Amino acid sequence: MLLRLLSTCRVQNCDVNTDGCYSVLLAVVYFTALFPYVVLFILFFRGVTLPGASKGIIYYLKPRFDKLGDAKVWSDAAAQIFFALSPAWGGLITLSSYNKFHNNCFKDSLIVGIGNILTSLFAGFVIFAIVGYLANELNMDVDKVVDQGAGLAFIVYPDVVTRLPISPLWSILFFIMMITLGMGSEFALLETVMTAIQDTYPQLRAKKTWVVLTVCIIGFLGGLSVTCRGGMFILQLMDSYVSSWSVFMMAALESVIVGWVYGGERFIQDIEMMIGQKNVHFHNFFKLFWKFLSPFTLMFVLFFNLIQYRPLEFGDYVYPMWANGIGWVLSMIPITFIVTIAINKIIHAPKDKTIWERIKFLLKPSPQWGPAHKLPVFTLTDVKEIDVDKTISNPNYSSPNTSPFGSKI
């Protein structure tokens, strides 16, 4: 919280040395993003040299197809993707809004998606190599040692590193990695919240430091409960309810809106306006996912979990009914906001229309809808001498080469 606040204050107080501020923030972001990979490589080479590491790696790579019938496996897999890539949570939209208009978002998406998959696979080798060592030390099967969710990172793994030679070194490296991962996530999440607040209340942009301080304090106070003795139980409750049910519904709704309401073809045309025209296979691929595969898969996971729903458990502890009720309330809060705002918009739509006509009216793009990238508008009367070579360039487009939007007159 303190680092994020200081970085925000530094940006606002660096009107003179903007490049210096940008360099400092860029260094912080690169460090928090890349340092975990350094630690992962160190732990990987240390882990695979430990006795019993092969047992853990074999357990990690050996598929158990009987688990495909368990709804929780599907839910955990989907939740992991939402955690790693942050779709439907606003993080991707917020951070991408800072890109230049002609940034190749398609290439960035491929890099992030493939990088996430490879990182997850590699991290699995790191984790299970050392878990195999713990199973060997305790003379137990790997599946008896492996814990689920946060327990693996905060209970099992810390116990393992204390058993290694030079345990303080591995403990320091591991927890520094966890801190930097948390900081990286904090940057994106807090920026998402801040962008939403400042876009809703533009007058607060002049007081960004105080808004950041307020949001950080609220987040800090809200997180104190997780640090208490029963914090792991609270964390499991939020992890199981908040990051699954509502997110699945929001993501499916986004896919339906893009694919069917706004139109998949129209959305692809908007993308082509930024990155250039694509072939028909590009069009068909993304329309297939937006219209059918993505919403169908998400709703399948959602209903599959509802059918096989059972009260939350953590170890041998079964959560009471009131605790599960709190979990359901937390998971429905985002959906409640969406439904409330939708109803409010329908009520305040033109009164001369029926309910269905109001909904259709609200689903149409507003007259102000359009790309942030604006081509310059000019007339020949702007040029006094027609035979003079003059170039009208697009001020919103920056390129190391000559702007392709320049127009010779």
For the cut 90, the answer to whether the pLDDT of residue 288 exceeds it is yes
Q: How many CA atoms lie within 13 A of 370 on its CB side?
A: 5
Whether residue 342 sits in one domain with residue 258: yes
**Is 185 annotated for ligand binding?**
yes
Q: Which residue has the higher pLDDT, 262 or 396?
A: 262
Residue at 236 is within a domain: no
Whether residue 257 sits in one domain with residue 147: no
Average pLDDT, the chain: 80
259 confidence band (pLDDT: 50, 70, 90): very high
Residue at 239 is within a domain: no
Whether residue 342 sits in one domain with residue 272: yes
Whether residue 221 sits in one domain with residue 349: no
pLDDT of residue 14: 46
Q: Which of 129-133, 136-140, 249-253, 375-379 has the lowest mean pLDDT?
A: 375-379
Whether residue 210 sits in one domain with residue 265: no
Q: What are the tens digits of pLDDT across the range 201-220? A: 889 888 888 998 999 899 89
pLDDT of residue 149: 60
Whether residue 395 sits in one domain with residue 355: no
pLDDT of residue 317: 86
Is residue 319 within 8 A of residue 237, CB to CB? The reply is: yes
Domain residue limits at 366: 244-371
**Is 96 annotated for ligand binding?**
no
How many domains are contained in the chain? 3
Residue at 137 is within a domain: yes
pLDDT of residue 171: 82
Question: CB atoms < 10 A from the CB of 151, how many?
Answer: 16
Whether residue 139 sits in one domain with residue 60: yes
Q: What are the tens digits of pLDDT across the range 351-364? A: 888 999 999 888 88
Alpha carbon distance, N-terminus to C-terminus of the chain: 54
pTM of the predicted structure, to 2 decimals: 0.77
Residue at 336 is within a domain: yes
Q: Which of 107-111, 130-134, 158-162 has the lowest mean pLDDT?
A: 158-162
CA distance 294 to 208: 37
For the cut 60, the answer to whether the pLDDT of residue 70 exceeds it is yes
Question: CB atoms < 10 A from the CB of 88, how many?
Answer: 21
Whether residue 398 sits in one domain with residue 359: no
Whether residue 405 sits in one domain with residue 314: no
Q: Which of 43-47, 118-122, 345-349, 397-401 has the lowest mean pLDDT?
A: 397-401
Q: What are the tens digits of pLDDT across the range 156-179? A: 777 777 777 888 888 888 888 888
Residue at 88 is within a domain: yes
Residue at 235 is within a domain: no
Q: What angle do CA 184, 186, 191 make, to 5 degrees?
A: 110
**Of 229, 263, 284, which residue constitutes the final position of a domain?**
229
For the cut 60, the answer to whether the pLDDT of residue 325 exceeds it is yes
Q: What are the tens digits of pLDDT across the range 310-322? A: 888 887 888 999 9
Whether residue 225 sits in one domain with residue 303: no
Residue 75 burial by CB count (10 A; 0-12/13-18/19+): exposed, middle or buried?
buried
Is residue 371 within 8 A of residue 405, CB to CB? The reply is: no
Whether residue 179 sits in one domain with residue 43: yes
Residue at 325 is within a domain: yes
Whether residue 387 sits in one domain with residue 300: no
CA distance 28 to 22: 10
pLDDT of residue 188: 81
Residue at 108 is within a domain: yes
**Is 243 annotated for ligand binding?**
no
Residue 197 burial by CB count (10 A; 0-12/13-18/19+): exposed, middle or buried?
middle
Report the pLDDT averaged over residues 223-242.
86
